[in-house]
């Protein structure tokens, strides 16, 4: 059976890696907006009876998800056997509980919406904090790949004498895996968050790591405050400016400028297209697609 991959134009390089990795052909479509902002979709490939995957960027989901759903529904209307979603970055994972009375638990609602619309999901390092598996909120087959190996590979080839540092307790198990795969030591800091842009990071035990290059790794870089605070403490303690690696560079307004002003080198995986992308996730996603389609 044919496997056809449709892709957001911004992710075309990654789409090429995925197509090569799992033997898919490129789906062709047109998408534009009517003058009133509504989405126009026209699928040009024959998808009748085909396994179809859509590679989409869910960064800024409130504007990107509706066009995705228009494409998915068009593909189903045209007879695709199944339509799966390859989302290198899975949005709406952080509001995973009711922190204050009356709040919505957007993680659940978003998962419900996607589960109703697509037949399967492959993603990379979703923010699993108070839930431990996507299956707790997604009712479709949902596979979470991890960027541990690609990140470790980048560290091995680009950083001299690295020490991987997790900027907070949440990152501990994950930072340890990256360090193990990169063959270097690991240190984890503790973090307290007082507000969206107010984060305090504890001093680490740095004495063992003088002469090492600190590599801060986190799943998400949003405001950059977590990285900046952690880096500042490392530098105050006499370590060199760290390399900051994020799987998903969301980059809230001003984040990159603030990180640059703090003297940080920032590297991201290519889950969200950006000039900081240096670690390709396409081959990993191709493996995930093959696994979920078996």
Q: Which residues are catalytic?
A: 191
Nearer to ligand R5P, 219 or 274 (CB): 219
Considering only residues 7, 223, 256, 276, which one is a binding residue for ligand R5P as defined by CB under 6 A?
223
Q: Please provide the DSSP assignment of 154-206 as one string.
A: HHHHH-SSEEEEESSGGGHHHHHHHHHHHTS-EEE--EEEEETTEEEE-----
- Please report whether residue 96 would count as binding ligand R5P according to CB under 6 A: no
| Closest separation in Å from C-beta 237 to ligand R5P | 20
Inter-residue contact 97 to 104 (CB < 8 Å): no
| Closest separation in Å from C-beta 122 to ligand R5P | 21
Considering only residues 218, 249, 268, 292, which one is a binding residue for ligand R5P as defined by CB under 6 A?
218
| Closest separation in Å from C-beta 193 to ligand R5P | 8
Inter-residue contact 200 to 194 (CB < 8 Å): yes
Binding part of the chain for ligand R5P, among 202-210, 214-222, 230-238, 263-271 by CB under 6 A, reads: 214-222
By CB under 6 A, the count of residues binding ligand R5P is 12
Binding part of the chain for ligand R5P, among 73-81, 212-220, 262-270, 282-290 by CB under 6 A, reads: 212-220
Dihedral sign (CA 202, 208, 213, 217) = negative
Considering only residues 3, 75, 182, 199, which one is a binding residue for ligand R5P as defined by CB under 6 A?
199
Considering only residues 19, 59, 212, 225, which one is a binding residue for ligand R5P as defined by CB under 6 A?
225
| Closest separation in Å from C-beta 169 to ligand R5P | 10
Angle between helices 106-117 and 61-77 (to 10 degrees): 20
Tokens of 157: 């080839």
> Within 10 Å of residue 242's Cβ, how many Cβ atoms?
27
Binding part of the chain for ligand R5P, among 7-15, 16-24, 145-153, 218-226 by CB under 6 A, reads: 218-226
- Please report whether residue 178 would count as binding ligand R5P according to CB under 6 A: no
Binding part of the chain for ligand R5P, among 77-85, 105-113, 154-162, 219-227 by CB under 6 A, reads: 219-227
Nearer to ligand R5P, 22 or 230 (CB): 230
Largest CA distance in the chain: 62
| Closest separation in Å from C-beta 14 to ligand R5P | 22
- Please report whether residue 222 would count as binding ligand R5P according to CB under 6 A: yes
Residues at the site binding ligand R5P, with contacts judged by CB under 6 A: 168, 170, 199, 218-226
């Amino acid at each position: 059976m044919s496997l056809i991959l449709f892709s957001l134009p911004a992710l075309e390089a990654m789409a090429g890696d995925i197509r090569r990795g799992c033997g898919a052909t490129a789906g062709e479509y047109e998408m534009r907006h009517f003058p009133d902002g509504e989405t126009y979709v026209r699928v040009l490939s024959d998808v009748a009876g085909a396994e179809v995957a859509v590679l989409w960027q869910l960064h800024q989901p409130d504007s990107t998800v509706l066009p995705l759903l228009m494409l998915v529904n068009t593909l189903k209307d045209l007879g695709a056997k199944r339509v799966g979603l390859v989302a290198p970055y899975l949005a709406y994972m952080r509001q995973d509980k009711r922190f204050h009375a009356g709040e919505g638990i957007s993680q659940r609602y978003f998962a419900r919406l996607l589960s109703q619309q697509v037949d399967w999901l492959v993603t990379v390092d979703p923010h699993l904090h108070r839930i431990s598996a996507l299956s707790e909120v997604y009712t479709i087959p949902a596979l979470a790949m991890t960027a541990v190996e690609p990140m470790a590979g980048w560290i091995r080839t680009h950083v001299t004498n690295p020490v991987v540092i997790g900027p907070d307790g949440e990152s501990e198990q994950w930072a340890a895996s990256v360090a193990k795969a990169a063959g270097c030591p690991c240190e984890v800091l503790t973090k307290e968050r007082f507000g969206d842009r107010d984060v305090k990071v504890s001093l680490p035990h740095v004495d063992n790591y003088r002469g090492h290059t600190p590599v801060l790794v986190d799943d998400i870089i949003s405001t950059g405050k977590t990285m900046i605070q952690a880096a500042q403490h490392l530098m105050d303690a006499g370590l060199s400016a760290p390399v900051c690696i994020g799987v998903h560079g969301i980059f809230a307004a001003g984040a990159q400028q603030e990180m640059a002003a703090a003297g940080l080198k920032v590297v991201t995986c290519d889950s969200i297209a950006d000039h900081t992308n240096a670690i390709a996730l396409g081959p990993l996603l191709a493996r995930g697609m093959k696994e979920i389609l078996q």
